[in-house]
Amino acid sequence: MSEFLSSLNERQAAAVSWQDGPLLVLAGPGSGKTTVLTRRIGRMIQQSPDDHYRVLGLTFTNKAAAEMRARIEKLAPGSGNRVLLTTFHSFAGDLLRQHGHLLGLKPDFTILTQDGERIGLLDEAIADAGRSFEVSEFSGERLLPLINRLLENDVGDERVEKIVATLPEERRASVSAVYRAYKDRLIAANSLDFPSMISEAVRVLRTHAAVAKQIRRIYRYVCVDEFQDTNFAQYSLLICLVASDSRNLFVVADDDQIIYQWNGASPARLEGLKRDFEMTVLQLPTNYRCPPAVIDIANKLIANNSTRTANKDQLLAEKPATEDQGLNLYHFPDFESEVAWVAQDISAKSASERERCVVLARTRKTLERAVEHLGNNGVTAYLANRKDEFVSAPLRWLHAALRLANSSNDREQTRRLTRAFFALEGLQIDPAGVTSAAEAFEGSALRSFLNLALERNELSDHTRKYLVSALPQLVERLDFRSFCASTFEWFAGLPDQPFLASSNDFSEFEDEKKVWEALVADIEAQFGKESVTLHMLLQELDLRSKTPPQPKEAVPCFTIHASKGMEFGHVYLIAMVEDQLPSWAAVKKGAESPEMQEERRNCFVAITRTEDSLTLTYSDKVFGWQKAPSRFLREMGFQV
């Protein structure tokens, strides 16, 4: 038997052996979906040494892409140049760097990562559209969610008015005009936001058949992990990428794990996929992760959702039952005693078992209490905080300098550069002065910054030397690698400033330096070091979270969304009350609402992270409010 099939069950082996045509692997948590996806890619590459086609694997997070790359490299060493494992956004970014000129984009386009920047542009688009809006009702801030939805749903200009049909007629035309103007503004500013990266990539492929044909020739096989999370624009991209004659699309998905409905994911997408690609469906019901008692309550819970795929197989536990079943439910008078107990229970475990624990909850607010109680019991806890931008002054300086080298007189980046410089050197350089000098000086804000800084007598020798040698590396030669190295040397040589070391400007520096190095290494591994240009580096950095890795010995406290795709020895799912899980919003929408079904899937995802034991807790009072036990506890078969 091939090494790619060893220890797999019959259905998993069938999925790994699948060669041509469309296959949907529809399976529950812990059933080996990621395993079969990576093994199939490894097998295909290894068994076709004389072929040149590439396999494209699309994921939602860079973490998942990196993990799959590592797994495939282990299975089929040296396969790197025949596989592209990347996120939808990174793929779209790469496509637009190469072909965006067909839409008027330059390869060094900027990604707008902050809502503030997008709102500013949208306000300008409202003015461009020449509509007389009442500002309070029709501001960029108010319109942004609607624009997001239109972009995420790949709504063409001609369909906008139908989509917003509930608005009065005059407003419909206005939304349509602003939508068009916003997209034009983005292109004119040589920038994109996250949703428009996907929709513009779709536009290139739809309007330029030769480009689509070339991509389909290179990537003869397309695979998607966690397909259930795709929004409509991502699905449209997929349709453009898969050749309609061969339909070599391999998708793994679980409709019971759709928890991004608010981001455009929908149970209907899987139905559309089956219909559009005439997918063969293969189910993998065997669960290798959870104890049988957990599988039992998971099956009972999810059976209450009415929008599931018809005929979906129940999960079957592969693990044998143990005496204690690995399942507990505890009830407390109030939330404080609940989290205090959880913290004590975790702290009483051995160090090695503690490392296998996780605390899960629907909201961060409840997790913050758990972190505090764990700390009181001498246990370090880790509450992941998604970070889209660096916050320490050294990294802010580095990032702003690189961004300015890429878009030479950007006011916002100039402002960030001068603020970071003040934190590092204690010297105030007026950003408006830099911008106006740049306008007179070939447009380079970095060059004008250098000139203005060098005029200042207060500049330390160490910093003067750095600026004189390093900034020209960047401005004249775009040698960002030497610039980064010189910058880190400059940071290391800055005089100790103990009063600053504890301030927010510096406290995260060491962590952020490691994150920077890891991100750059990851980007270079994905694209090949020599191919990474400055604008590519910046765009890819914008697509990646700046969150530092979890300290090894810390107990993670995750929202359910953050725990997706992971597994833990001991799971503590806390605050199992109405208004928490299910959320207040879902309770308001009603028992049969799509929101309530999504909450049930959240609960399903949470409990199926369990490898050995699941502990559910709830209390009568949460944050001072009387709360009823979660309806999901009853649905799982508990008497509450």
Side-chain-side CA neighbours of residue 398 (13 Å): 28
Task: Choose between 289 and 513: whose C-beta lies nearer to ligand ATP.
Answer: 289
Among 22, 32, 394, 548, binds ligand ATP (CB under 6 A): 32
d(CA 198, CA 211): 16
Find the part of the chain contacting ligand ATP (CB under 6 A) among 25-33, 232-240, 413-421, 424-432. 25-33
Beta carbon of residue 545, minimum distance to ligand ATP (angstroms, whole number): 19
Smallest gap, in angstroms, from Cβ of residue 229 to ligand ATP? 11
Asked whether position 12 contacts ligand ATP by CB under 6 A, the answer is: yes
Q: Shortest gap between Cβ of 59 and ligand ATP (angstroms)?
A: 11
* 193 half-sphere exposure, CB direction, 13 A CA radius: 23
In the bound complex, what is the minimum distance in angstroms from residue 287's beta carbon to ligand ATP? 8
| Stretch of 27-35, 53-61, 264-272, 377-385 contacting ligand ATP, by CB under 6 A | 27-35
Q: What is the DSSP string of 220-265?
A: EEEEESSGGG--HHHHHHHHHHS-TTT--EEEEE-GGG---GGGT-
The conformation of residue 593, written as its DSSP 8-state character, comes to: S
Out of 22, 30, 42, 582, name the contact with ligand ATP by CB under 6 A. Answer: 30
Least CB distance to ligand ATP at residue 269 (A): 17
Q: Are the C-beta atoms of 587 and 546 separated by less than 8 Å?
A: no
Structure token pair of residue 202: 């779709």
The four Cα atoms 197, 203, 205, 211 give a dihedral, to 10 degrees, of: -90
* Residue list 243-272, contact with ligand ATP (CB under 6 A): 254
Answer yes or no: are the C-beta atoms of 615 and 572 closer than 8 Å.
Answer: yes
Sole window of 3-11, 152-160, 362-370, 590-598 interacting with ligand ATP (rule: CB under 6 A): 3-11
Report DSSP letters for 269-301, one per residue.
HHHHHHHHHT-EEEEE-EESSS-HHHHHHHHHH
Give the residue, chosen from 6, 7, 132, 457, that forms a contact with ligand ATP under the rule CB under 6 A: 7
283 belongs to the binding site for ligand ATP (CB under 6 A)? no
| 254 closest CA partner among 477, 510, 540, 34 | 34
Q: To the nearest whole angstrom, how small is the minimum distance from the Cβ of residue 68 to ligand ATP?
A: 10
Cβ proximity to ligand ATP: between 180 and 356 the closer is 356
Residues 128-157 that bind ligand ATP (CB under 6 A): none
Which CB, 431 or 565, lies closer to ligand ATP?
565
Q: How far is the CB of 625 from ligand ATP (least distance, A)?
A: 33
Q: Which residues are bridge partners to 358 per DSSP?
A: 571
The residue (of 7 and 244) whose beta carbon lies closer to ligand ATP is 7
Nearest distance in Å: CB 230, ligand ATP: 15
SS3 assignment, position 114: coil
Q: Which of residues 587 and 606 has its CB atom nearest to ligand ATP in the complex?
A: 606
Between CA 334 and CA 269 the distance in angstroms is 41
Q: Contact between 181 and ligand ATP (CB under 6 A)?
A: no
352 binds ligand ATP (CB under 6 A): no
Shortest distance, position 353 Cβ to ligand ATP, whole Å: 18
Asked if 369 is part of the footprint of ligand ATP (rule: CB under 6 A), the reply reads no
Identify the DSSP state of 533.
-
Residues 288-317 that bind ligand ATP (CB under 6 A): 288-289
DSSP state of 568: E
CA distance 453 to 560: 48
For 61-76, give one letter per residue: b (16+ CB within 10 A) or e. Answer: bbbbbbbbbebbbebb
In the complex with ligand ATP, the residue whose CB is nearer, 34 or 347, is 34
Partners of 370 in beta bridges: none
Amino acid at 147: I
- Judge contact between 308 and 256, C-beta under 8 A: yes
User: Residue 62 or residue 444: which is nearer to ligand ATP going by CB?
Assistant: 62
Which CB sits closer to ligand ATP, 35 or 236?
35
**Residue 64 vs 222, nearer CB to ligand ATP:** 64
| Residues contacting 243, CB < 8 A, separation 6+ | 216, 220
Contact pick of 11, 15, 18, 31 for ligand ATP (by CB under 6 A): 31
Smallest distance, Å, CB 35 to ligand ATP?
4
Q: Which is nearer to ligand ATP, 5 or 173 (CB)?
A: 5
CA–CA distance, 534 with 285 (Å, rounded to integer):
46
> What is the spatial distance between Cα 178 and Cα 185, in angstroms, rounded to a whole number?
10
Nearer to ligand ATP by Cβ, of 59 and 630: the residue is 59
Instruction: With CA atoms as reference, report the closest residue to 84 among 54, 63, 50, 41.
Output: 54
- Shorter beta-carbon distance to ligand ATP: residue 8 or 560: 8
Note whether 9 binds ligand ATP by CB under 6 A: yes
Q: Classify the phi-psi angles of 17: left when phi > 0, otherwise alpha if psi is within -120 to 50, otherwise beta.
A: alpha
Using DSSP bridges, classify how beta strands 280-284 and 249-253 pair: parallel, antiparallel or unpaired. unpaired
Tell me the closest approach of the beta carbon of residue 320 to ligand ATP, in angstroms: 13
Pairing state between β 357-361 and 327-334: unpaired
Alpha-carbon span 429 to 42, nearest angstrom: 54
**Please, what is the minimum distance in Å from the beta carbon of residue 323 to ligand ATP?**
22
Question: Which residue, 196 or 287, has its beta carbon nearer to ligand ATP?
Answer: 287
* Nearest residue relative to ligand ATP (C-beta): 32
42 binds ligand ATP per the rule CB under 6 A:
no
CA distances from 425 to 4, 290, 326, 393, 497 (A): 57, 54, 56, 10, 10
Residues contacting residue 66 through CB under 8 Å, at least 6 positions apart: 522, 525
Task: Give least dist CB 285 to ligand ATP, A.
Answer: 11
Stretch binding ligand ATP (CB under 6 A), from 32-40, 444-452, 521-529, 532-540: 32-40
Q: How far is the CB of 471 from ligand ATP (least distance, A)?
A: 46
Nearer to ligand ATP, 486 or 602 (CB): 602
Check binding of 61 to ligand ATP (CB under 6 A).
no
Q: Which of 34, 261, 347, 497 binds ligand ATP (CB under 6 A)?
A: 34
Of residues 555-594, those binding ligand ATP (CB under 6 A): 565
> In angstroms, what is the minimal distance from the CB of 609 to ligand ATP?
7
CA distance 545 to 543: 7
- Binding residues for ligand ATP, how many (CB under 6 A)? 16
d(CA 352, CA 349): 8
Q: Which residues bind ligand ATP (CB under 6 A)?
A: 7-9, 12, 27, 29-35, 254, 288-289, 565
